[in-house]
């Protein structure tokens, strides 16, 4: 385990929430601003039978002082009410290892017919081992994807899901993640940080995945007047300001970087509203 000190709630952030009614107002504001982003992703021709499949992607919940138990329960209800076929969690479940373990016991209530899947974020891996996190995910009904993969059999097709360990606090192993699902008709790669993408793109001549789902950046989290303050804590080393968040195509592969749900450092988001994603997979025009 690498030594890493995550951005836990800062002293100004803690003091802010001590103001009268601040916690209540903060929760209400979060409830009002959390958006469900509807993304459409084209399917590779080998998976065109999966047209209409729906997945929720939810990253960076950061359960703890700035996102309390009531909001976590409401979030679970909101995700379940979207009735996705599968749910993908992008890591950073809590502020640090211990709060992540607690968050996972509540995320157990997430439900989808094709299952719930989760990777490891830097905050989750800050003070706990890969094995502890793996066990906590499994014990709470979430299939752990940490340097590993799984293959879903849907409508006679094989959809692979895989992720590496976190690039900051863990030990990513791309061969372990990809080699075990190469039999799939198409793969979704879901590392916590977009900084895993350059090595993943280099893994083989053609990227082995058709979709990458990442969080970690919080969309910059605090962008006064739409300008990101370069603190480095929310910037991806690989994409910087080029892709703080959003859906784009890189190397012929569809990528989504989510602003995520919660907060780090300060209970504040400016020009980076919290979000989760309802992704609809669509047969591409060429295959219709």
Residues within the interface to Fe ion (CB under 5 A): 60, 92
Least CB distance to Fe ion at residue 62 (A): 6
Q: Which two tokens stand for residue 181?
A: 């699902």
Residue with Cβ nearer Fe ion (114 or 268): 268
Residue with Cβ nearer Fe ion (42 or 260): 260
Residue with Cβ nearer Fe ion (60 or 165): 60
282/141 Cα distance (integer angstroms): 28
92/224 Cα distance (integer angstroms): 24
Instruction: Give strand ranges (E) for 130-214.
Output: 143-144, 148-154, 157-163, 186-189, 211-214
Q: Which two tokens stand for residue 103?
A: 């968050």
Least CB distance to Fe ion at residue 43 (A): 29
Residue with Cβ nearer Fe ion (92 or 165): 92
Least CB distance to Fe ion at residue 6 (A): 8
153/57 Cα distance (integer angstroms): 20
**What is the total residue count of the chain?**
288
Least CB distance to Fe ion at residue 163 (A): 15
- Answer yes or no: are the C-beta atoms of 72 and 61 closer than 8 Å: yes
Least CB distance to Fe ion at residue 140 (A): 19
3-class DSSP state of 250: strand
Q: Which two tokens stand for residue 255?
A: 């990528």
Question: What does 58-124 look like in DSSP terms, one character per residue?
Answer: E----BSSSS-HHHHHHHHHHHHHT--SEEEE-S--BSSHHHHHHHHHHHTT---TT-EEE---TTT
3-class DSSP state of 270: strand
- Alpha-carbon Rg for the chain, nearest whole angstrom, is 18
Residue with Cβ nearer Fe ion (92 or 185): 92
111/114 Cα distance (integer angstroms): 9
Tell me which H or E stretch contains 254. strand 253-257
Residue with Cβ nearer Fe ion (106 or 158): 106
Least CB distance to Fe ion at residue 9 (A): 13
Residue with Cβ nearer Fe ion (58 or 79): 58
Least CB distance to Fe ion at residue 48 (A): 34
């Amino acid at each position: 385990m690498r030594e890493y000190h995550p951005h836990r709630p800062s002293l100004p952030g803690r003091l802010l929430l001590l103001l009268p009614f601040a916690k209540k107002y903060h929760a209400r504001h979060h409830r009002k601003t959390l958006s469900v982003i509807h993304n459409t992703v084209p399917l590779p021709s080998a998976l065109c039978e999966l047209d209409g499949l729906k997945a929720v992607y939810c990253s960076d919940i950061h359960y703890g002082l700035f996102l309390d138990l009531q909001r976590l329960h409401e979030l679970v209800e909101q995700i379940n009410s979207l009735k996705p076929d599968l749910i993908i969690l992008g890591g950073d479940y809590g502020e640090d290892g211990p709060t992540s373990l607690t968050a996972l016991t509540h995320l157990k209530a997430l439900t989808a017919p094709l299952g719930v899947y989760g990777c490891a974020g830097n905050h989750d891996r800050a003070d706990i081992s890969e094995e502890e996190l793996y066990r906590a995910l499994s014990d709470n009904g979430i299939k752990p994807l940490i340097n590993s993969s799984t293959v879903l059999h849907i409508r006679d097709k094989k959809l692979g899901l895989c992720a590496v360990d976190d690039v900051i606090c863990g030990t990513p192993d791309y061969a372990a993640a990809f080699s075990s699902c190469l039999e799939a008709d198409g793969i979704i790669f879901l590392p916590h940080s977009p900084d895993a993408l350059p090595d993943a793109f280099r893994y083989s001549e053609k990227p082995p995945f058709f979709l990458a789902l990442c969080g970690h950046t919080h969309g910059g989290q605090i962008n006064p007047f739409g300008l990101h303050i370069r603190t480095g804590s929310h910037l991806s080393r690989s994409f910087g300001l080029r892709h703080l968040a959003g859906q784009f195509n890189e190397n012929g592969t569809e990528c989504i970087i989510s602003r995520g749900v919660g907060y780090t450092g300060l209970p504040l988001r400016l020009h980076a509203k919290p979000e989760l994603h309802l992704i609809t997979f669509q047969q591409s025009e060429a295959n219709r």
